[in-house]
């Protein structure tokens, strides 16, 4: 019989925290640290709003001082941010507009996210018009694959519209900070000149950096940018790495165009919304929320996240796009339909994404 290998001693810091946890039960050392300073939480990174900068009439940048545990990020990534509204925590995901790094890319150690208020958007409206300096937010780790390529391509085409500028702004600031901006053509669409988020900064970059060209398209006057405009504004687009973020219809057209040209590997796309829901007209069922004891009718095309929120159930959520997995919940019984593919699935105990799942008959969720 062989003897078990000796266990490796835990680091001193972990042993100290374990001992403190035993002595302070039922509270944890983190609870006391958070009382002293909310940014000292070791269980989940937090951030304090230092400033709210109005970018346009309906968009603002939150300048946030991150606390312990905030990791570095890549230019173009997004972060899930939680804020308390009316006593309830709400989570949404927003692009990081700071340069790449740990938030110190501008030399001030601060993190920046830029939010555009959407119609009936409770959280986005709060961030743009209601939040004040001093508010404490919960932060998740940065995520996302729509990032500035490494190494940086010698020639880049950015195609953005509306709030689609936000992930690209982090890339542009990163390039500017590195002092070696490649040949960049940036086509950005907004309804009016005053609606261009970061408009003044983008125009100043175009004046100062000879390798950065900005083409603004004001759609109220000229209509939306389409593929018919591509060859005229960027004849060498096949030779450029293209990064695009904007309306779903434009992105779908770009994907098809690059695919026909055999250049799909040179196109990177970021979507802020799911592509489509595959089964909006199917029958749903009654959803029971086991922990809260509530039942609610659930149409076949309505995400369970929305059903629960309408029924007054506290539902965890994040990106609402089926990406961040913040909305997962255990399925106690029944089955659900994936709204992206139409696939029906589920078994007791399975974790489901409530933002992209609908009831496929009666089901029970452990919330």
Q: What angle do CA 242, 243, 249 make, to 5 degrees?
A: 105
In a domain, 150, yes or no: no
Report yes or no on 17 lying in a domain: no
Q: Are residues 162 and 260 in the same domain?
A: yes
Domain end: 139, 163, 181, which one? 139
Q: How many CA atoms lie within 13 A of 305 on its CB side?
A: 22
1 within domain boundaries = no
In sequence order, the β-bridge partners of residue 246 are none
Q: Of 221, 245, 270, which closes a domain?
A: 270
Residues of the chain with pLDDT under 50: 1-8, 13-14, 16-17, 20-24, 27-28, 30, 32, 36, 104-105, 275, 279
CA 285 – CA 242 distance, rounded (Å): 44
Per-residue model confidence (pLDDT) at position 291: 93
Nearest 5°: phi and psi at 253? Answer: -65, -40
Co-location of 49 and 123 in the same domain: yes
pLDDT in tens, 13-30: 445 445 544 444 554 454
Helices (H), the chain: 12-24, 29-36, 122-125, 165-178, 199-208, 219-222, 230-233, 248-260, 304-310
Q: Which residue has the tokens 């659930």?
A: 298
Peptide bond into 33 cis (omega under 30): no
Helix (H, G, I), strand (E, B) or coil at 48: strand
Maximum Cα–Cα distance across the chain: 82
* Same structural domain, 196 and 301: no
Burial of 318 (0-12, 13-18, 19+ CB in 10 A): buried
Residues 133 and 162 in one domain: no
The pLDDT score that the predictor gives to residue 38 is: 65
The pLDDT score that the predictor gives to residue 37 is 55
Whether residue 25 lies inside any domain: the answer is: no
Same domain for 163 and 258? yes
pLDDT given at position 43:
62
> Is 248 within 8 Å of 273 (Cβ atoms)?
yes
In a domain? residue 10: no
Cβ atoms 305, 354 nearer than 8 A: yes
Please check whether residue 37 lies inside any domain of the structure.
no
**Residues 159 and 260 occupy one common structural domain:** yes
pLDDT for 241 equals 98
Q: Using DSSP bridges, classify how beta strands 344-345 and 267-270 pair: parallel, antiparallel or unpaired.
A: unpaired
Same domain? 50 vs 116: yes
User: Residue 326 sits in which domain range?
Assistant: 285-365
pLDDT given at position 208: 95
Q: Is residue 147 part of a domain?
A: no
Domain boundary among 242, 270, 298: 270
Considering the domain architecture, whether residues 121 and 173 belong to the same structural domain is answered as: no
Structural element, H or E, at residue 289: strand 285-289
CB < 8 Å & 24+ apart, contacts of 119-125: 122/85, 122/90, 123/83, 123/85, 123/90, 123/92, 124/92
Instruction: For residue 4, count other CB atoms closer than 10 A to its CB.
Output: 5
Can you give the CATH number for the domain in which 328 is found? 3.10.20.30
Measure the CA–CA gap between 337 and 287, rounded to whole angstroms.
13
Together in a domain, 263 and 292: no
Tell me if 275 is assigned to some domain.
no
- Do the Cβ atoms of 359 and 285 come closer than 8 Å? yes
Q: Based on the domain organization, do 256 and 314 belong to the same domain? A: no
One domain, residues 170 and 258: yes
Number of domains comprising the chain: 3
- Output the domain CATH number for residue 262: 3.40.50.80
In this structure, what token pair is assigned to residue 40? 């000292």
CATH number at residue 77: 2.40.30.10
């Amino acid at each position: 019989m062989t003897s078990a290998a000796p266990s490796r001693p835990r680091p001193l810091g972990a042993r100290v925290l374990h001992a403190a946890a035993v002595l302070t039960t039922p509270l944890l050392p983190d609870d006391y640290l958070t009382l002293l300073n909310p940014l000292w939480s070791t269980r989940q990174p937090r951030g304090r709003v230092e400033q709210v900068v109005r970018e346009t009439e309906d968009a603002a940048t939150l300048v946030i001082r991150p606390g312990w545990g905030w990791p570095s990020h890549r230019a173009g990534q997004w972060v899930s941010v939680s804020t308390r509204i009316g006593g309830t925590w709400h989570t949404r995901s927003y692009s990081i507009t700071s340069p790449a790094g740990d938030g110190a890319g501008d030399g001030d150690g601060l993190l920046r996210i830029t939010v555009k208020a959407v119609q009936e958007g409770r959280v986005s409206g709060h961030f743009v018009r209601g939040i004040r300096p001093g508010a404490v937010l919960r932060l998740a780790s940065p995520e996302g694959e729509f990032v500035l390529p490494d190494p940086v391509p010698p020639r880049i085409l950015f195609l953005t519209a509306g709030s689609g500028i936000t992930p690209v702004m982090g890339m542009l600031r990163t390039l500017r900070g590195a002092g070696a901006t490649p040949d960049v053509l940036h086509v950005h669409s907004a309804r009016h000149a005053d609606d261009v988020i970061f408009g003044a900064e983008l125009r100043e970059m175009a004046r100062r950096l000879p390798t950065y060209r900005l083409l603004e398209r004001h759609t109220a006057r000229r209509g939306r940018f389409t593929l018919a405009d591509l060859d005229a504004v960027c004849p060498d687009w096949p030779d450029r790495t293209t990064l695009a973020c904007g309306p779903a219809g434009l992105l779908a057209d770009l994907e098809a165009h690059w695919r026909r040209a055999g250049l799909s590997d040179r196109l990177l796309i970021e979507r802020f919304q799911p592509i489509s829901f595959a089964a909006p007209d199917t029958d749903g069922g009654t959803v029971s929320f086991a922990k809260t004891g509530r039942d609610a009718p659930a149409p076949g095309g309505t995400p369970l996240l929305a059903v629960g929120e309408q029924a007054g159930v506290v539902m965890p959520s994040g990106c609402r796009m089926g990406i961040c997995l913040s909305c997962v919940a255990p399925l106690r019984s029944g089955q659900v339909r994936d709204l992206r593919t139409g696939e029906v699935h589920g078994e007791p105990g399975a974790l489901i994404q409530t933002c992209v799942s609908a009831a496929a008959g009666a089901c029970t969720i452990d919330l």
